[in-house]
Structure 1
């Protein structure tokens, strides 16, 4: 994460309408979740190693939970990313991801005692690639969500109007139509017996409503609605 990353988010905010703060907060949440997964994998690998070496194995594997105190912060100015994890001072360290010995604690502060907790920063050298992958995934997800919302809002405001489209294909009794940034569906009961819905044919359609299918907006159109002829004459 760096200054160029923040500038890229600002550009996305300007061009795609997704607030930078929304993106940054979503990336921070995703970083915490990603680190928890990595944390669990490392803990399991460590327990397997102890078992192979004949060392004592914890009865239950340490698994981070949502209230484990792990946090992430991205500097809104520099783009610097930091992940923090609470550590507990223990007599015998079984999980170095979340525990440190009294000797290690005293190297940080002589005031620390057994059972005390402190917060350490996760070594970014072990986290940089994961952070980049997580950020890319979250940004793509948020942009896709924003695009779906824009399509839904745009065509909801055009219900009762016309849209130009290109016939793509038949799907059972429905006809799928490309109307630009969205896909439209022409149901069987809204088709005209006078039409021939051949591939790549350009046609005008009456927009009836906006539905949701598979978590995406689908524009329901008609070629037999009385409003189609009325709108065509109005133009």
Structure 2
């Protein structure tokens, strides 16, 4: 860097303008960096103990140096303080605590001072450039950008975006994908963070949203919000599923995304190194959506469990391998796309399981109601699965079963009620034996069987029950009442019922405290 004295004033401003343009930062930031560099060099000349300020005139480029002195009653440090008397002699209005400025002659930069000044300016400009990059890109998370490969290190790619640098980590690249220096690359900004070495812009080519954005660029209807992308699931570089919905009934969303002779989807496939893409019609009905998501496999039957978000899908025997996909890929992507856990059965497996359930339920009625096989099977066929269901139904409903009369129906309901009463009595005795309190037993939603399950888990008082979370009661793996068909909302209601006395106790304590305070005031002497 040339010495400051050899730069005429306008050249200084021209240098600042050139640097500001090249780095895309504010001219004032460059000039402030120059001022700081001159201050540092001036301190080296006049002494580091001095408080020196440099100012560059923004219009003429003139450099002014001054020493700042604090006005004090008694001087402790000569270099940065001045007495009130001396200050008043220079500035009659000076007061203790003020700072006055003492002009200094301009300095001639030596080689070392000039080098130091250059380092300060370079560092400040670099910091300003980093801050500009962060501010520019922090709001661009979610965009797709184009750039050139600047360098490749250990599989990680540094990308030149023109006004910033970004990084694509190896695990954010598609398998078997390789880039060389100067290659063009398109990727998705998924994060921008401030880090010690400057802002880091993280790009991805495996992110599900990258595929959605690519479709947005290829399909005008998506850009115009006529077609919505509702969900994307990817096995990067291998296969993907994308669910689309049309807001215009006259436009087929799948056809629009595929394009004429597959031209639109093919453009995305080419960008993603041949990744196979299934485009699926989205549906608000979970069963329809899941059936669509399992394409190309055909589905013959579905059974949903809304509570656990699980669905059982029955497919023809010859469609099983297609539905599951290679290494479970098809069903895994369908599960990611829909947000449901999917169990796949063949028609033969489902038929075998249904027959087993039918036999088990029939045997249950034979054992508990002491009836023959025909009557038990008729009850199961009619939809009864447990003795409790027979016990708490009107006898007339049982009599409506073909082959039953009123006397038989009355007898069956009576036997069912006697059986349930006997079981409940046994449960009640066991509940008392386990020490489960009467207050817990008084909670309406808890059956005798549930009370025994709670007692065997050590939950015996209202406080024990109130301390639990709903998940601890109904969790599929280890919930205390997981076998009793409770939903999470019902479990939470039971726990809130157990906690009700906590709030009653608080109200009583408040009332007692108020009464005590009133008594004290009534006996307090005036």
1:156 aligned to which of 138, 146, 169:
138
State the Cα distance separating 1:139 from its structure 2 match.
4.6
State the Cα distance separating 1:183 from its structure 2 match.
2.3
Judged with a 3 Å threshold, the aligned counterparts in structure 2 of structure 1 residues 85 and 122 are, in CA distance, closer, same or farther, namely farther
Alignment of 1:156-235 (within 5 A): 156-193=138-175, 195-200=176-181, 201-235=183-217
Alignment of 1:90-169 (within 5 A): 119=102, 121-122=104-105, 124=107, 126-127=108-109, 137-169=119-151
Could you tell me the TM-score, scaled by structure 1's length?
0.58
Deviates most, 219-228 or 75-84: 75-84
CA contact (8 A) 1:160 1:206 kept: yes
Judged with a 3 Å threshold, the aligned counterparts in structure 2 of structure 1 residues 155 and 78 are, in CA distance, closer, same or farther, namely closer
1:18 aligned partner: 26
State the Cα distance separating 1:158 from its structure 2 match.
1.9
Q: Which sections of structure 1, spanning at least 5 residues, go unmatched?
A: 41-63, 88-97, 99-117
Give the greater-gyration-radius structure (CA): 2
> Which structure shows the bigger proportion of residues in helix conformation?
2
Judged with a 3 Å threshold, the aligned counterparts in structure 2 of structure 1 residues 199 and 187 are, in CA distance, closer, same or farther, namely same
**Are positions 1:37 and 2:19 aligned together?**
no
Structure of higher RCO (CA pairs closer than 8 Å, 6+ residues apart): 1
CA contact (8 A) 1:167 1:197 kept: no
Aligned length: 178
CA shift digits 1:146-184 (9 cap, x unpaired):
332232223222211111233344423523333333222
CA shift digits 1:169-221 (9 cap, x unpaired):
4423523333333222222332222x421314333211111134443222111
2:35 aligned to which of 21, 28, 35:
28
1:73 aligned partner: 55
State the Cα distance separating 1:132 from its structure 2 match.
6.4
Judged with a 3 Å threshold, the aligned counterparts in structure 2 of structure 1 residues 80 and 171 are, in CA distance, closer, same or farther, namely same
State the Cα distance separating 1:227 from its structure 2 match.
0.6
Q: Which sections of structure 2, spanning at least 5 residues, go unmatched?
A: 1-7, 70-78, 80-100, 218-526
Could you tell me the TM-score, scaled by structure 2's length?
0.29
CA contact (8 A) 1:176 1:183 kept: yes
Structure 1 distance, partners of 2:125, 2:169, is: 29
CA contact (8 A) 1:18 1:143 kept: no
